[in-house]
Amino acid sequence: MSYSGSAGGSPDQAQGHLVYLDHAATTPMLPDAIAVMTRELAQLGNPSSLHNAGRRARRVVEESRELVAECYGARPSEVIFTSGGTEADNLAVKGLYWARRDGDRRRSRVLVTAVEHHAVLDPAQWLAGHEAAQVGLLPVDRTGLLTPDVLRAAIEAGPGPETGALISVMWANNEVGTIQPVAGLAAVAREYQIPFHTDAVQAAGPLPVSFAAAGVDALSLSGHKIGGPVGVGALLLARGAEPVPVLHGGGQERDVRSGTLDAPAIAAFAAAAQIVVKHREEEAARLAALRDDLIGRVRAAVPDAILNGAPPGPGRLPGNAHFSFPGCEGDALLMLLDAKEIACSTGSACTAGVAQPSHVLLAMGAGEARARGSLRFSLGATSTLADVAAVAEVIGEVVDRARRAGRA
Ligand SMILES: Cc1ncc(COP(=O)(O)O)c(C=O)c1O
């Protein structure tokens, strides 16, 4: 198994055209994951079938389950394969809410941070609109951080801890890269016996993520953020955390997530997890050095650029550099960079294209203008010094043009 030396990269990258700095949106599949997936796509068999071909597919799924469990500090029986991070988040938020409320009608309070991905925020809001959930948005500080004390105060300030149905706090933020103190937050939730879910989709590549050590009840993962395929992920679920299913059908995955298991994608996801976890430390250090170089060069070219999120260091994802450029529209910057074959994002890929200020930056206390004028560069396995240099070369001119366009 190999890592960044032979990391996949898109055909465009192979031709040397594209500077791809949007790894938080999706990162290229690792060559070994492609090889595993290609091999398995040629195989026949439904993992639920009893014949030989089915049993072979089942073996592939179960071996993958063991690998994913080992990579993320869980037991194999705690791994529920899903179609990705969005489904894992929905299953955790809706499923755990329903299970709690069905056991005790008073338990209707859901606490999520104001900076969650929409895959958590929207199911929580859906529960508020359709199932009478009382949803509270947990405040974060100016760097996007939620502290255990603030969580405790929010629980205490409510109608009573016995009404707690669920707390969901992401491990690391997809826009600004802020890392939450998940173990400390989960410990507070445990004191009040409120189930705790964490969306670890962005954390599972660059950070040491251990389900057991974090002490959480549920944890979301996504294949395509770690070098596996799109359309596969997992919810790690502690024993005793039994969500009401969102999907009903064949009863696969502990009866929690029905649907024929995608053995090739699951095998490739597990292969990617194994590789990223094995190389995590040196890769995180490499990315942090590149990221720091990028931050320094952007600041040199645009002295009034504001770095959003935590300072570079242990509180920030190693591959994340997120700026606000005063006087600019993020969308204009993105398109100007795109015209120069540099791919980045104004924030989460899921909201890009919709001209709205980032809810994450607003929750961090940024004004609308600053929130709209932001850009995220996210680095990953294929990122190099040449990518950083390409941004450094054009960012000053691009910001000038976006400012002039904004004034016109
Ligand atoms: C923090 C976070 N959660 C959830 C998701 C959704 O994951 P998926 O694309 O696998 O549905 C994303 C993707 O952008 C994400 O960044």
The 3 state secondary structure assigned to the chain is CCCHHHCCCCHHHHCCCCEECECCCCCCCCHHHHHHHHHHHCCCCCCCCCCHHHHHHHHHHHHHHHHHHHHCCCCHHHEEEECCHHHHHHHHHHHHHHHHHHHCCCCCEEEEECCCCHHHHHHHHHHHHHHCCEEEEECCCCCCCCCHHHHHHHHHHCCCHHHEEEEECCCECCCCCEECCHHHHHHHHHHCCCCEEEECCCCCCCCCCCHHHHCCCEEEEEHHHCCCCCCCEEEEECCCCCCCCCCCCCCCCCCCCCCCCCHHHHHHHHHHHHHHHHCHHHHHHHHHHHHHHHHHHHHHHCCCCEECCCCCCCCECCCEEEEECCCCCHHHHHHHHHHCCEECECCCCCCCCCCCCCHHHHHCCCCHHHHHCEEEEECCCCCCHHHHHHHHHHHHHHHHHHHHHHHC
Ligand 1 centroid to 302 CA: how many Å? 31
Mean pLDDT of 133-146: 97
405 has pLDDT over 80: yes
114 has pLDDT over 60: yes
Is 233's C-beta closer than 6 angstroms to any atom of ligand 1?
yes
pTM for the structure as a whole: 0.95
**Ligand 1 test: best mutation among 90, 117, 207, 230, most atoms within 8 Å of CB?**
117
Mean pLDDT of the chain: 93
Is 177's C-beta closer than 6 angstroms to any atom of ligand 1?
no
For 80-91, the pLDDT digits (tens) are: 999 999 999 999
- For the CA of 233, the closest atom of ligand 1 is 10
Catalytic residue among 71, 328, 344, 350: 350
**Ligand 1 test: best mutation among 225, 235, 376, most atoms within 8 Å of CB?**
225
For 298-348, the pLDDT digits (tens) are: 999 999 999 999 999 999 999 999 999 999 999 999 999 999 999 999 964
For 5-49, the pLDDT digits (tens) are: 344 445 445 446 899 999 999 999 999 999 999 999 999 999 999
Is 201's C-beta closer than 6 angstroms to any atom of ligand 1?
yes
95 has pLDDT over 70: yes
Percent pLDDT > 70 in the chain is: 94
- For the CA of 173, the closest atom of ligand 1 is 1
Confidence (pLDDT) at 160: 82
Per-residue confidence band for 3, with pLDDT thresholds at 50, 70 and 90: low
Confidence (pLDDT) at 353: 56
For 218-277, the pLDDT digits (tens) are: 999 999 999 999 999 999 999 999 999 999 999 999 999 999 999 999 999 999 999 999
Confidence (pLDDT) at 5: 39
Is 352's C-beta closer than 6 angstroms to any atom of ligand 1?
no
Verify whether residue 350 is a known catalytic residue: yes
Is 228's C-beta closer than 6 angstroms to any atom of ligand 1?
no
Ligand 1 centroid to 252 CA: how many Å? 23
Mean pLDDT of 155-167: 89
288 has pLDDT over 80: yes
Ligand 1 centroid to 203 CA: how many Å? 11
Mean pLDDT of 148-162: 91
Confidence (pLDDT) at 16: 60
- For the CA of 349, the closest atom of ligand 1 is 14
